[in-house]
Amino acid sequence: MAALAVALFNSCKMENPLLSESPLEYGAPQFDKIKNEHYLPAFEQAIKEAKGEIDAIVANPDEPTFANTIEALEFSGETLERVASIFYNLMEANTNDEMQQIAETISPKMTEFSMYVSLNEKLFEKVKAVYEARESLDLAPDQLRLLEKKYKEFARGGANLSPQDKEIYSKLNEELSLLSLSFSKNVLAATNAFTLELNDEAELEGLPDFVVALGKQTAEEKGKEGWVFDLSYPSYGPFMQYSARRDLREKMYMAYNTKALQGENDNTQIVKDIVDHRLGIANLLGYTTWADYALEERMVKTPAEVDAFLTKLRNPSLPAARKEVDAIYKYAKANGFDAPELMPWDFSYWSEKYKAANYSLDDSLLKPYFQLESCIDAVLGLATRLYGLQFIPRPDLPGYHPDVKVFDVKDESGKHLALFYADFFPRESKRGGAWMTEFRGQSIQDGVEKRPFISIVTNFSKPTGDAPSLLTHNELTTFLHEFGHSLHGMMAEGRYGSMTGTNVARDFVELPSQIMENWAFEPEYLRGFAKHYRSGEVIPDELIAKIEATKNYLAAYYQVRQLDFATLDMAWHNSAPVPEEGTREFEKAVLTPSALLPQVPQTCISTSFSHIFSGGYSAGYYSYKWAEVLEADAFSLFKEKGIFNTEVSGAFRREILSKGSSQEEAVLYRNFRGHDPQPEALLKKLGIVK
């Protein structure tokens, strides 16, 4: 009977591509064979297998050691990690109703498994025994750091709680997981629920050809007549920039800024429930607020330090931003704007007009020079020039959607480093925005190294008619940003996957991405690839000069906007008790002191603020600005030595990209730059202070 059970289990694994080892080169995921019906049985089997591995650690009669406890724990759950990384990544990039139902079914099972590990008293006793003996174990630095991290994970995960509190903790985590899923589902549904359908050419006033073509294509895809615009950013952003119809801009703005605020996709109560559950978890663990808990493992350690950091940036930025807004308003008044005040749905339109008038530059002038294929070559080529990486197309390896391009990444010696999956175009099955993720991280076990599978996901405009996909300069910058994250993953080195690649402190993880944005403004780099897609003409020096001149256009305005997001995040997560006001009312009270434009009472950011309510940035949105400070200081070394200087890029790879979290992030930064980060570096870069 036992032999039959094993045979049936092996047969099940062979039939389910999520459970069996992939026969493809490097073990690449078999995306072409994975179907929805594979997910649930794969999760159930993988959870069972992972529990068995935990049980084996606990049942081991030998004295707890680093190898039989800490390393065994680090390498446990490999199958579950493979299944979960594929499923949850595709939930973001290529989802469907059935997958969302599976997610709701599997969420409590995953939470229960997480609790099975983190609240396992006998397992924690073994971890604690190794931790308390750490000074006598002669561990290598990365081993000692792994031990310390594992111990902290248990302590911060409730291992020291009483049995009664552990039950409460488990329930709160399970409910929080479901709340976050519901939040994300509602945002996606609300985004997809709205379309602006236009049938009169007069309603297209002001829209450049590329925006009109996109509207026509969207209409055709949805089986509609005329032109259709939706809330995906390639549609919404250009419409708000160029539409001369104020009434339609207002309609679009209100739809975008009331997402998941009412009706069947309402997130107003879910926001407060998420905040309440996080606060409950933090209190159980001995922290005053969720922010206190979350920040303990960051570079910036306390809410007070975050507030001081935000204030140091806001104080000089707010008056500068108000001057910028006033200049736009005066320009609008001088050019026919007759409303008593500039409303939020007016700002993108008139700031674009102002930029065109004062800098003679808008996206329609630049887009012809940024054909997607050329940008792909240029972005990948930058990694070749800085780090010697080679990107070899692999059309024989399956992607999870026909749009996905697959590359084999090799280093300068020809050694395989990673598989790189690039998914550029919007679709209804993909959430908005842009991000980097991984289907497998880097690790070394028993002398065998597994190299990572890295993915970049964006929502760039698709080709339309006879025009190829053309990027805005902002989209090129976004591409470079997410590619920076990808490099962090691709060039990971180390034994332990939980400490390699992008597995670093939340307020450090944006340094490799944001430093890459700088090259989008460097003339020497732009001249190498930016050519008109029809004529082949290299981008003129005068356009490059305008890109440089507009680099800090509205820098203070956008800085304050990001600081507002960070302030709102901290307000939600540094509150105890949970605010009594309604979600919308609380948000308005937080944002009013720094408001640059009139606030619209009916709108709300929080109900679609996915970064903090369904992403990983709760009490961490400030980290974007923190990382900008890091990158402003770090890139100044490239500016000093040369933007393609391989001595500097080599040091950046050696001290930052390859190290993961093998040392404290503050130490890694000092090792590269020679000093601690200073906020003044960013204020100077943005031109806010001299």
Cis peptide before 577 (omega within 30 of 0): yes
From CA 181, how far away is CA 517, in angstroms rounded?
31
655 CB-contact burial (10 Å; exposed 0-12 / middle 13-18 / buried 19+): middle
Q: What angle do CA 8, 14, 20 make, to 5 degrees?
A: 120
CA 528, 532, 536, 539 dihedral sign is negative
> Which residues sit opposite 453 in a β-bridge?
419, 440
Q: Is 286:293 a contact under the CB 8 Å cutoff?
A: no
448 CB-contact burial (10 Å; exposed 0-12 / middle 13-18 / buried 19+): exposed
Q: Is 371:479 a contact under the CB 8 Å cutoff?
A: no
Residue 406: DSSP 8-state? E
Q: Is 171:97 a contact under the CB 8 Å cutoff?
A: no
From CA 393, how far away is CA 391, in angstroms rounded?
6
Q: Which two tokens stand for residue 163?
A: 């049995």
Q: What angle do CA 32, 36, 38 make, to 5 degrees?
A: 85
From CA 95, how far away is CA 87, in angstroms rounded?
9
From CA 299, how far away is CA 314, in angstroms rounded?
20
Instruction: Identify the three-state secondary structure at position 467.
Output: strand
Antiparallel, parallel or unpaired: β 453-457 and 435-440: antiparallel
Instruction: Identify the three-state secondary structure at position 529.
Output: coil
Question: Could you report how far apart the first and last alpha carbons of the chain are, in Å?
Answer: 79
Catalytic residue from among 74, 482, 517, 522: 482
Q: Which two tokens stand for residue 78?
A: 């490999």
From CA 525, how far away is CA 530, in angstroms rounded?
9
37 is catalytic: no
Residue matched to tokens 């032999």: 3
Residue matched to tokens 């598989």: 419
Instruction: Identify the three-state secondary structure at position 593.
Output: helix
CB count in 10 Å sphere of residue 598: 12
Q: Is 544:233 a contact under the CB 8 Å cutoff?
A: no
**E strands present in 66-218:** 195-198
Identify which of 189, 183, 89 has the alpha carbon closest to the alpha carbon of residue 611. Answer: 183
Q: Is 330:324 a contact under the CB 8 Å cutoff?
A: no
Antiparallel, parallel or unpaired: β 227-230 and 195-198: antiparallel
From CA 458, how far away is CA 436, in angstroms rounded?
9
From CA 643, how far away is CA 385, in angstroms rounded?
10
644 CB-contact burial (10 Å; exposed 0-12 / middle 13-18 / buried 19+): middle
Residues marked active site are found at 482
